[in-house]
A and B are shown apart, each in its own frame.
Chain A
Amino acid sequence: MKVIVSLILVTALAWLTRWVSVDVLNLNTAPQIGAVMSVGLLMLGGWLSGKIFERIQLPGITGYLAFGILVGPFVLGIVSAEQILPSKDGSVAPLGFISDLAIALIALTAGGEIHLSWLKGRTKKVLAILAMHVLIVMACIATFVFLTHGAVHFLADINTLTIAVVALLAGVVMVASSPAVTIAMISDYKADGPLSQMTLVVTVFKDLVLIVLFATVMAVSKGLLDAEASLSGGFLIGVAFELLGSLAIGAVLGLLMALYVEKVGTHLTFFVVGSCLMIALLGEHEIHIPGLDHGFHLEPLLTALAAGMFMQNVWPEKSEPLFHSIEATSLPVYCLFFALEAARIDLRVLSSLWMFSLALVTARTCATWFSVYLGMKLAGLRDAWTQKLWLGMISQAGVSLALVGLIAEGFAETTWALPMKETLVGAIFISQVLGPIGFRYALLSSGEGRKPDRD
């Protein structure tokens, strides 16, 4: 009861402050100033909601998400749209960098959790599961969209080639799952064992595959739909640079971070946040390569992942204090990141296209179960935990949303891009809420995780 009262008090105070400053005093407060209050609200409120959800046997992450939706611009409006959504002129929202910072921290943690020694002898198994999962989910969703397009108003009157392209793009987006949720859940439930390790490895490597796959499908789609845009080799080279560049820079950063721990070794929590900020900001800069038409961005997720992997597998002892600090820093970042992601969800979109979104989620869930089942068979894995691996692949979050954004941007002139984006965002939102519930069940029932007991 005290936790609920605390949550109400925190929310009420933030609401009162906003009401007095905006509606009563009509003050000129810059969005970035108001954003600081939103950070505190989302962090504390998300954490308290997580506590409440844990008491009713639901994952803490679902609590963070629920609180984000509640205080976001589409319900209570305490966190305003101008603080979290990019403006019409394309400028980044004041809280925009928090997502990149959080993704960098999550990826750093993920990198630190990947032990190459564990992968030895299991590479073929991981590849088998990964390949089956990616191919089957993509094929199933693409087929589903292609077959049902007649029932969807914005796809009903377009030609077959365009429908095929839309179906393929939707297939790629729906393959993605969320390393952030996986890491957060593993960390929250202190899970350790083959299920959590396999889920983590497959989820993380799937992101690597997806970036290449998405870039290829986007290039092919553009080439097919736009007569003027030929399939650009430069685009694919740019993607290759993005991948390899991110991994290389990540390795260098890992080296520098290990050096800092060894030579300086103080204020590691601040150092972790500073490093993630640096990785996030590195991703904002466009890098131009001579001879290529367009520049490329480093991928914060890959850069941080490489840094984490490098430290864990090259200097495990030197890096140990750093990973302890990352563990301490993780919870505030998770609370903030997931609440913020949920606050961005436009509930109006979900209410208008929810049926198609729900159908997509159902198709994706079935395809995920089937693909993982086949992958396990192919890999020759028959242990009890293998029955639950698919539950770790349901969550979707940041990467999927980023891909949807790129589709909407890349095909902005078409009639289908915007409604398709809204449908996919709706589907991602449903998966974002349902995914942690399924993964929590998998971790607890397999005996790998234990309920958070912070006392």
Chain B
Amino acid sequence: MGVALVVVLALLASSKRFWRLRRTRVGAVLTTGGWLMLAVGLLLGPHGMALVKLDEWAVIDPLVLICLGWVGVMVGLGADRKLPSMIPAVVKKVVLWDVSASVLIIGAAALWAIAQNTSGAGAGGSGGAAGISGVDAVLPLAILLGVCSVSWSAEGRSLTSTGSDAEGRVIQVLRAGSGIGGMLALAVYVFALGGFVVQGDQLINSPLALSLELIVSMLMAVVLGWLGLFLMGLAGRGNGELLVVLLGLVTLVAGAAATMGDSPLFVSLLVGAVLVNGPQKEKGLTRLKRVILEGEQPVAKILMLAAGLLLDPRVCWQKAPLAWTLIAAILIARFVVKLIGARWILRRGMADTATNNTVLFGLMRQNPLAIAIACGYAISPLATYPAAPLTGGEVLMILMMVGLISELSPFIGRACSKPPNLKCDLNYGLQGGDA
């Protein structure tokens, strides 16, 4: 019954009445970032009121997977081939810096934090001759945490409310950077983690697995993408048939990717990209986009609720040294990486007012896609093999803490900015404030 409750809550949270919460800054952060749903999921889950029982996990995992497939196709549909030419050079440079620095610097910080708090075989040591052990065994987790730190939230309402031209430019940079950064993060995730597979209770790093996964995933994405174009034409005008094509593609792609140990988000993103760049840009694609966008809110809410169910808060006290060192390391490394990105934007003269300076604190905030990537990881064998230093639920908890703390940065930034942003505060006061 808990699963049905999750779906009903997600639907209610997708309603227009709930959407009105976005009118306030805190409301915008909580709803757009998905934190509210995450908290509700945590409350419903095994570590809260236990309304969703363990025997319902068999339904939760597929639900997460289908949502990831849906989100992936939706993001992929935005990857039009004309996109690179439409993006300003500064955004490309900032995003490239952000992706490489986040994966390397934040990943390294995470690796250091894990290595400091796990010892010997505990550091992912899988025992056995064939499996990898020691620091190598915690690499997948460190890479994941680095990848999840790539990019930032595209939500702009909590950063500014004046809507002036200068502000608009920075917000656009944030939005464009957030979207492209998310796509690149997924690509890095697949290439970096594709070789790590769990066989029996051992973690191995196999170039064969990486090659096969990439070949089959690419083949699947290209074939199903092209097939999707043909099937949309075959579906005719009926909504039922379009739904068969969409749901069939999403579940087949996400399921196949997960079966291969690949990222369901990435492979379905590729399918979306093939669909949008295919030769037949016909009415079917417009209708498909409409249906997929209509589902955006409920799917995102279900995904966040499911992430909340998967969360394991016990890591904060049962593995306190590891958890808090990791959170601190990620936050510090994140601050450094994003600060450099913000300075770069400032140097290009894109932000020349005090308001824009505070808007740049938005770079600190975590991209909601990070939780989706972590959800995919949490239900994959990489998160469940016996010697993994953190379970999927624990990783999700750490990312939630990082995300929540980093959401505070624009508020802190605004409070600290001199002179006080009267225009912004006035608007804020008129809207009813945080309380």
Closest approach, in angstroms, between the C-beta of B305 and any C-beta of chain A? 12
Question: Are B224 and A25 in contact (CB-based, < 8 A)?
Answer: no
Instruction: Please encode chain B, from 5 to 17, with 1 for each CB lying within 8 Å of some chain A CB and 0 for all others.
Output: 0011011101111
Does A414 interact with chain B (Cβ within 8 Å)?
A: no
Question: Are B259 and A33 in contact (CB-based, < 8 A)?
Answer: yes
Instruction: Please encode chain A, from 12 to 48, with 1 for each CB lying within 8 Å of some chain B CB and 0 for all others.
Output: 0110111011001111111011111111110110010
| Other-chain contact of B66, A9, A36, A274 (Cβ < 8 Å) | A36
Chain A residues lying within 8 Å of B1, measured Cβ to Cβ, are 278, 281-282, 285
Question: Are B62 and A29 in contact (CB-based, < 8 A)?
Answer: no
Bound complex: CA A91 to CA B61 (Å)? 16
Would you list which residues of chain B between 194 and 228 have a CB under 8 Å from chain A?
Answer: 197-200, 206, 208-209, 212, 216, 219-220, 223-224, 227
Does B235 interact with chain A (Cβ within 8 Å)?
A: yes
A sample of 15 inter-chain contacts (CB < 8 A) reads A10-B227, A10-B252, A13-B252, A14-B256, A20-B212, A25-B197, A28-B200, A32-B58, A32-B59, A32-B61, A33-B61, A38-B255, A43-B247, A274-B8, A328-B243
Bound complex: CA A350 to CA B416 (Å)? 77
Would you list which residues of chain A between 164 and 206 have a CB under 8 Å from chain B?
Answer: none
Chain B residues lying within 8 Å of A335, measured Cβ to Cβ, are 244
Would you list which residues of chain B between 34 and 72 have a CB under 8 Å from chain A?
Answer: 55, 57-59, 61-62, 65-66
> Which residues of A are at the interface with B, using a C-beta cutoff of 8 A?
2-3, 6, 9-10, 13-14, 16-18, 20-21, 24-30, 32-41, 43-44, 47, 51, 91-92, 94, 97, 260, 264, 266-267, 269-271, 273-274, 277-278, 281-282, 285, 327-332, 335, 454-455
Question: Which 9 pairs show the lowest CB-CB distances between chains A and B?
Answer: A40-B252, A37-B255, A36-B255, A44-B248, A331-B240, A40-B251, A278-B4, A274-B7, A454-B236
Bound complex: CA A149 to CA B379 (Å)? 52
Question: Are B227 and A6 in contact (CB-based, < 8 A)?
Answer: yes
Closest approach, in angstroms, between the C-beta of A450 and any C-beta of chain B? 14
Question: Are A264 and B12 in contact (CB-based, < 8 A)?
Answer: yes
Question: Are A13 and B224 in contact (CB-based, < 8 A)?
Answer: yes
Binds A, one of B106-114, B290-298, B333-341, B345-353: B290-298
Question: Are A17 and B3 in contact (CB-based, < 8 A)?
Answer: no
Question: Are B240 and A40 in contact (CB-based, < 8 A)?
Answer: no
Count CB-based A-B contacts (< 8 Å): 197
Question: Are B61 and A30 in contact (CB-based, < 8 A)?
Answer: yes
Chain B residues lying within 8 Å of A10, measured Cβ to Cβ, are 224, 227, 252
Closest approach, in angstroms, between the C-beta of A211 and any C-beta of chain B? 23
Question: Are B11 and A34 in contact (CB-based, < 8 A)?
Answer: no
Counting chain A CB atoms within 10 Å of each CB, the highest count among B200, B230, B240, B297 belongs to: B240
Bound complex: CA A381 to CA B16 (Å)? 52
Does B104 interact with chain A (Cβ within 8 Å)?
A: no
Question: Are A92 and B58 in contact (CB-based, < 8 A)?
Answer: yes
Does B307 interact with chain A (Cβ within 8 Å)?
A: no
Question: Are A332 and B243 in contact (CB-based, < 8 A)?
Answer: yes
Bound complex: CA A10 to CA B17 (Å)? 41
Does B421 interact with chain A (Cβ within 8 Å)?
A: no
Chain A residues lying within 8 Å of B209, measured Cβ to Cβ, are 25
Bound complex: CA A455 to CA B235 (Å)? 7
Bound complex: CA A85 to CA B15 (Å)? 38
Would you list which residues of chain B between 344 and 396 have a CB under 8 Å from chain A?
Answer: 379, 381, 385
Question: Are B248 and A267 in contact (CB-based, < 8 A)?
Answer: no
Bound complex: CA A264 to CA B297 (Å)? 14
Closest approach, in angstroms, between the C-beta of B342 and any C-beta of chain A? 37
